[in-house]
Chains A and B, each alone.
Chain A
Amino acid sequence: MKQRLPAHSVLAGREGRLLALGLMFLAFWSILSVSIALREPSLGWRFAPDLQGQGVLAYDPRKAVKVTERAQAGLRLLALRAAETDAGGAGRGDVIALESLIAVEAPSMLSRQEDLERFFDLQARVWALLDGAQARGQPVEVQLADGQWVTREVHPRQWSELGWLYGVPLLCGMVPFVVGMGVCAWRWQSVGARFLGLASVMALLALAEVAVVTGRLWLLPPWFAEAGQIFVRCTSLVAVWAFVMMMLHYPTPLRQARAWTRGSAVLLGVLLVLNALQWPDSQTLRYKLWLVVASAGFIGLAVWQSLAHRSDPVHRAAGRWLAASALVAFSVVIYAFVVSLVYDVQVVSNSYRWVSVPLLYIGLMVSVGRANLFELERWWVPLCLWYLGGTLVVLTDLALVALLRVDAGAAITLSLLVIGWLYFPARQWLLGRLQHSSRPRVMTYLPDLMGAVNAGLAGEQAAREAWRQLLERVFEPLAMERQPLVAPAAGEAPVRIDDLGRQLQVPDVGGEGVWQLTLARRGRQLFTDDHAQVAGQLWQLLDLGLSQQRQTQAAVDRERLRIASDLHDDLGAKLLSIVQAGQADGTAGLARQALDDMRQSVRGMTGKPLAAAEVLADWRAEMVGRLDAAGFSVQWEAQDPAPGLILSPRVHLQLTRVLREAVSNVIRHSGGRHCRVGLAFAGGELLLDVEDDGRGLPQAPSGAPPGLGWPNIERRARKLGGQHRFEASCLGGVRVHVAVPLAGGAVAGEADAP
């Protein structure tokens, strides 16, 4: 639970008060129930109906005796009377014939009203006889099957005589109560949880009464017999109503839940009054029918809820828990019922079927509390298959016994063999297929992962995008959001599951953020440890790959820097000396040019891609500055490049040289006073124009005049895959035109902010 309370405040606040109140009530009700059970006068026997004949069976209450063995274990009693008194005045009194119905496990098993009345009447008469004898301190006499009368002492019932038949139903009421109170206390906001709490209170009330009734030795206190009947019916009705209402509101309220709640509450009130008045006579009409209606309503609403939350994995997981626990709980009852039907015997007391109630509640607790506690998403299918397997074995066994009259022992062996050979291999195959296909595997995504690592070459942004796409591909999350990294706790795994499996947190490239993935498979699945494991492995591999790549890149950069620095220091120094020494004989110019070439090459080697806008600014400053210093008037016409356009170091370097060469020609050879420089971007090309108003194209037809450096311009343009033209300018001089493609050499992307 996310909002777990600190230990010291468990008994503070509303949760604590509610829990304390609940525990006090639990203690009070248990003591009350035990004290009522102990008010029964005891003969030291537990009674059961004699199924073979008239009368009742009596056996030792301290021993757990199977239903089928009671006839052997106990005595058969036919009648009861008071012992002969010394005074003789009162006489022996009437002999009460013991009908077997007086010992039925619960009066609710008597379906006819006249049987019920006989039961209560007989109970009251026997109680009066025993109570009187106990008050006088006299024994009573019972008639055995052979007609003999034996004397038996009457004493108040003792602790040791309570037995399992009393304890099991009471315990089955206490467990749901504790569960219900807990869920209610910590999920008070949920209407469903509150109805669950109500149902659990009713379960405790009803099962305490059931414990007294089924756990009794023989008699019920007269005041309790009839009132208890009414009480258990009323509490049962409230409990099933609360269950239906819980289903109506959980996980989310269905349409018009409020109106349904109110309407059914009114109906419930009417039924409670009818049961209290015991009118009409028919129990079916005022009680049993409504239990069936409520069960149908519960199942109907459960189906409705699951349909309504088909696409919501969290609610779906809660619903599956509910279904699983209900299935297991009801299976207990149904198996017991079917087994007793098929084998035509009742092996154990009806009391034990109440075990299904706490089973149901524990399922409910998990459902309302923590839906993904045991990663139901992952083992839902195996669970269903496992349950199906068990059911198949039982059904086969029962079918063999019931239809083919096979011996019980042989039947179970046969059904185990049949199911073992036929079903379990099929289940294994099915399970393998399902799990193999549904679990993401790292190997499947290795090519994508390597792609992401390679994308890291183009920068962190590209790696981040590739990683995002990879996560998208692997998990198909419903939503994916990048969030800033909150200071990670020490030792915390980089990948973790949040919000009961609704979210998966995965680190992002660069270490500054995390990806928060919501619900896998387009919202159809919750994240499980499997997912987290795969994401963790993928992340580790990517991180490793990227860091290896960074190291390689750093080594390459270091090496380039070293070469560059060596070039500068050695070659540069020597060229510089030639510059100094060659002032006289004219080699200085050549050396200076060589130095400049070397510097440009080094820059191309170590340079970073630059934004086109910045390159244009640098060109403008240099060219305008030079032309201006040489006395030219300059017309600079540069089109703004697309925002984010980036020039590769290669294009940058070569075009800078072209531009310098062209401008140098204008300054040195044109003889003009005006220069126009045009820069434009069109059709994925950079178009460069340098023209002047000087002498114009040389007349010599045999090719470019020496000294103009036109071959250099031509070579560089060709290197970049571009075109060039030297032609007459409309200004009167020469026009140098160069067009180079930007694709290949230039990368469109985000420019680093200046």
Chain B
Amino acid sequence: MQHALIVEDLPAIRDWLADAARAAFPGVQVTTAARVDQALARVAERSYDLALVDLGLPDGSGLDVVGALRHHQPKALPVVVTIYDDDDHLFPALQAGAFGYLLKEQPQETLVAQLLRMTQGEPPLSPPIARRVLSHFANSPQRQKTLVRQIENEVKLTERETDVLQRVAKGYTLPEIAQQFGLSRHTIADHIKQIYRKLNVSSRAEAALEAARRGLVQP
């Protein structure tokens, strides 16, 4: 972790997030932005390893920054920092390509611990989110048929991934699931990372498809 981007409009929170990033990754260089346009400019300037992005920004949604990062800097790790903890806010963030989310009011040490866990490859996955992901993939076979073939294989969940999601949806914790499968926590974390990636790919493909469809309807 050498470069971190922090996008947050409140100066106090911005500093606090910068402190947390420095505490988690000593020696990290922090770039900050308070608005979406600023953030996009920063993204264009250089590459980052980590980005902490607030959702409600004065000139738009942090999701745009997450999308730009996903698109231009696939290696960067976008994490959404928010005051909302309901899945109605979080699911779109994950679809946009966020790798996880942090709640703003947590004590700094919790924040640091979560950051470390995320960068080590264990994204958070709550039962409501797992249910949303499952239904997203279950309801899209019709849509997937129309997708380009190469994307199609990429966005289908494997049997094991579906299995993991179902267990999460039932309320089992990741260590429990690892134990049930007789697998290491790392393997389970890898599955979850794949699920997140596929969710993002499938959502982007759908968005592109939707745009194309609208383009056809209104040339």
Q: Give chain A's interface residues, CB within 8 Å of chain B.
A: 568-569, 572-573, 575-577, 579-581, 583, 588, 591-592, 595-596, 599, 603, 614, 616-622, 624-625, 628, 753-754
Contact = CB atoms under 8 A, between A and B. Distances in A.
Nearest to A624: B173
B139 to A, nearest CB: 10
Nearest to B134: A754
Contact of B104 (A576, A583, A624, A628): A576
B181 interface: no
Contacts of B175: 628
Contact of A568 (B83, B169, B171): B83
B176 A618 contact: no
B86 interface: yes
Contacts of B127: 614, 617-618, 620-621
A60 B127 CA distance: 107
Nearest to B171: A620
A596 B85 CA distance: 10
A573 B135 contact: no
Contact of A618 (B10, B134, B171): B171
14 contacts: A577-B12, A579-B105, A580-B12, A592-B105, A595-B83, A618-B128, A618-B171, A621-B173, A624-B172, A624-B176, A628-B175, A754-B131, A754-B134, A754-B135
A81 to B, nearest CB: 101
B73 interface: no
A575 B104 CA distance: 11
A255 to B, nearest CB: 55
A32 B108 CA distance: 115
B199 to A, nearest CB: 16
B105 A595 contact: yes
A499 B203 CA distance: 48
Interface residues of B, number: 28
A616 B56 CA distance: 31
A616 B170 CA distance: 8
B144 interface: no
Which label, helix, strand, loop or mixed, suits the secondary structure of the A interface?
Answer: helix
Contact of B171 (A576, A579, A599, A617): A617
B51 interface: no
B107 interface: yes
B21 interface: no
Most chain A CB atoms below 10 A, which of B84, B104, B171: B171
A568 B12 contact: no
Nearest to A611: B131
A588 B110 CA distance: 14
B131 A580 contact: no
A621 B126 contact: yes
A588 B105 CA distance: 9
Given A628-B173, A754-B169, A575 B105 contact: yes
Interface in B153-190: 168-173, 175-176
A625 B134 CA distance: 21
A624 B171 contact: yes
Contact of B168 (A595, A599, A621): A621
B56 A614 contact: no
A576 B135 contact: no
B44 interface: no
Contact of B84 (A568, A575, A596, A622): A568
Closest 4 CB pairs of A and B: A620-B171, A617-B171, A754-B131, A617-B127
Contacts of A614: 127-128, 131
A618 B126 CA distance: 7
Contacts of A577: 10, 12
Contacts of A603: 86
Contact of B107 (A576, A581, A588, A617): A588
